[in-house]
Amino acid sequence: AVVTFVSRDGEEREVSLEEGSSLMQIATNNAVPGIDGDCGGEAACGTCHVIVDPQWSELVGRSGSEEEEMLAMNPERQPTSRLSCQMLVSAAWDGLIVQTPEFQM
Ligand code: FES
């Protein structure tokens, strides 16, 4: 199972999904450019922002209230934005596509 991270300029990076990890952990373990995860997954830094491909948004779910507080301050925020540290990976996400923003906060 894989997830594809797409950078703002269209560069794709495929990473294996590990069920039970957060999407942020997977990204940082694989050194995906554009995902920092500075707070270690506490929904407190906003540097793990991803924009979920709209086709996947319903399956992976929308942001919760803690995420909303961080995302509200983000100028690159989109309707399907999430904090990837708050996304617990499921095997059903095989083929997931997320975009990384131009800048992390
Ligand atoms: Fe800090 Fe997600 S890693 S908000």
pLDDT in tens, 8-20: 999 999 999 999 9
Q: Whose CA is nearest to atom 4 of ligand 1?
A: 43
What pLDDT, on the 0 to 100 scale, is given for residue 105? 80
Residue 60 to residue 7: CA distance in whole angstroms:
19
pLDDT mean across residues, the chain: 96
Instruction: Report the sign of the C-alpha dihedral through residues 38, 76, 19, 43, in that order.
Output: positive
Domains of the chain and CATH, by start: 2-99 (3.10.20.30)
Cα(70) to ligand 1 centroid in Å equals 9
Model pLDDT for residues 47-83, shown as the tens digit of each residue: 999 999 999 999 999 999 999 999 999 999 999 999 9
Pick the residue with more confidence: 22 or 104? 22
What pLDDT, on the 0 to 100 scale, is given for residue 37? 97
Probe residue for ligand 1, chosen from 26, 28, 29, 48 as the CB with the greatest number of ligand atoms within 8 Å = 48
